[in-house]
Amino acid sequence: MTPTVELSGLEVTLGGRRILHGLNGAAHSRAIGLLGPNGAGKSTLINTLLGFHPPSSGTAHVLGLDIRAQCNELRPLVGYMPENEAFIARSTGIHFVRYMAEISGLPPDLALERAHEAFVYVGLGEARYRPLGTYSLGMKQLVKLAQAIVHGPRLLILDEPTNGLDPPGRKRLIGLIREIRQASDTHLLLSSHLLHDVEQTCEEVIILREGRIAAILNLEEERRANRRFLEMDVIGAGATFTSALEALGCECAAFGATRLKVVLPPGVEIRDVYGLAAKQDVRIRRLNYRRDSLEDLFLNAMEQAGAPNGRI
């Protein structure tokens, strides 16, 4: 299967400063998240994949196409929603999106038709004839999405799409992105520093730190493999309760007489723990159940030390 994004020793130097340090790796999923703290190189990586920054060494393949040699073949397949404000001065929404569609190669009549469709799709149908200058920030984000999808690209690159949006706006945009992912075979590359957005929309994440790849994780696999934790405050639990839990296959750690941390193995459920506690007359006063979240994975990746070859 062709990877959606494949990085082969990709190195980018801008203004005399090396931003990306020989990145290596591949992401195969249809929806890929780019995660990293501010300044990690997410936007630079996106700009490089779009052909805006020439790599100083190495290369990358997007949808199997080399970003250096096959840039012309790649660009018609890509829809890009930039992070910053981007529009054409003194134009209405529909004029702007139609213009972008025509630049992408759609004939004028079809461009107009699809511009209307894109506007309705993103939920701005009523505002399409208004000048862009009068749009709110949330509307501008949606217009940027409309121009990115108007020409029906195979790969949608979204750079911080929820920046500056209020919670309802953010929810709506995330919903649209998920819908695009589910309704077609479109690939998605979403850059964000908001873990929740990525978690909700992506199947695989590339975590960047200081211009290096900290981790490439398949979220589904991670979720499946993730450990589940129980944190309990108990009264009356002795060594026998701990031994019984270990007999079920759990890993236990006791903190004092009342606090217990338990790692559940696959196949053991919380009800089994309750059953065991009832049998041994152990009173559970508090139980907190959680599993490794993207946040844990991200923080884990951030804490790990650096390593050569673009990987940490």
Binding residues for other proteins, rule: CB under 8 A, are 14-17, 47, 50-53, 72, 75-76, 78, 80, 82, 84-91, 99-100, 102-107, 110, 114, 116-118, 120-121, 133, 147, 149, 151-154, 157, 179-180, 183-186
Q: How far is the CB of 18 from other proteins (least distance, A)?
A: 11
Q: How far is the CB of 269 from other proteins (least distance, A)?
A: 38
Q: How far is the CB of 223 from other proteins (least distance, A)?
A: 26
Q: How far is the CB of 195 from other proteins (least distance, A)?
A: 25
Kindly report each contact of residues 276-284 with a partner whose C-beta sits within 8 Å and lies 24 or more positions away, as own/partner.
Answer: 276/241, 276/244, 276/245, 276/248, 277/234, 277/237, 277/241, 280/236, 280/237, 280/240, 280/241, 280/244, 281/236, 282/234, 282/235, 282/236, 282/237, 282/241, 283/234, 283/235, 283/236, 284/232, 284/233, 284/234
3-state secondary structure of 50: coil
Q: Is 257 exposed, middle or buried (0-12, 13-18, 19+ CB in 10 A)?
A: exposed
Q: Take residue 223 and report the two structure tokens written for it.
A: 């979720």
The residue among 180 and 237 lying less far from other proteins, judged by its C-beta, is 180
The residue among 83 and 272 lying less far from other proteins, judged by its C-beta, is 83
The residue among 144 and 212 lying less far from other proteins, judged by its C-beta, is 144
Q: How far is the CB of 106 from other proteins (least distance, A)?
A: 7
Backbone conformation region of residue 126, classed left if phi is above 0, alpha if psi is from -120 to 50, else beta: alpha
Q: How far is the CB of 308 from other proteins (least distance, A)?
A: 24
DSSP 35: E
The residue among 85 and 220 lying less far from other proteins, judged by its C-beta, is 85
The residue among 124 and 273 lying less far from other proteins, judged by its C-beta, is 124
The residue among 25 and 93 lying less far from other proteins, judged by its C-beta, is 93
